[in-house]
Amino acid sequence: MKALALTLLLLISTECFAKPKFKLGNFEIGGVRFRSTDSNWETNAFFDGAWTPLWDAETFALHASFQVTSARDRAGERLLVTGYQGFALIHIYTILAIEGGAGLQTWHGGRDGGTFPIMSGNLLLRVGEDLFDRVYLGYGYLYHTTSGSHVLRAGTSFTL
């Protein structure tokens, strides 16, 4: 059993850490939709953008996400939203990957402003090696102080 564990560790270490790549020019653009669990809070959507620096070890990757978008508070006032998350990504197939992560989202201003924890998961499909190389579909749950919010995101990722 020790030999099997040692062999697996050796294979993983040579496969995953042989040629890691740092990609600082990764970005995402798309749309985001917030749907509160509070029935008095309207569902709202807006454009979404993020800088997503990546450390890619081929079978898995780690990346950060620094997001900027907008949302409406319960009073209908539009406010700036920034997000900061860390993700672990696993390549399932050559063109398919899943990732999960957690972080914080800050709602700047409005009566519902503040910083709140968020957990997210994304499905990524690699569509090529050109400028726009991935599309993603994601779900997150924002733990707002008064109620939670379901956060749906979709868009494309690119590397400069």
Model confidence at 102: pLDDT above 90: yes
pLDDT at position 10? 47
Sorted by sequence, the CB contacts under 8 Å of residue 22 that are 6+ apart come out as 53, 54, 55, 56
Instruction: Name the residue with higher pLDDT: 129 or 3.
Output: 129
State both tokens at 24. Answer: 């600082």
User: What's the whole-number mean pLDDT along residues 23-34?
Assistant: 94
Q: What is the pTM of this model?
A: 0.82
Q: Does residue 18 surpass a pLDDT of 70?
A: no
Query: Mean pLDDT, the chain, as a whole number?
Result: 86
Q: Span 64-93, mean pLDDT?
A: 92
Q: What is the pLDDT of residues 130-144, one digit of tens each?
A: 778 889 999 999 998
| CA 119 vs CA 34, 40, 41, 112, 158: distances in Å | 14, 23, 21, 19, 23
Q: What is the pLDDT of residue 96?
A: 94
20-159 is classed in which CATH architecture? Beta Barrel (2.40)
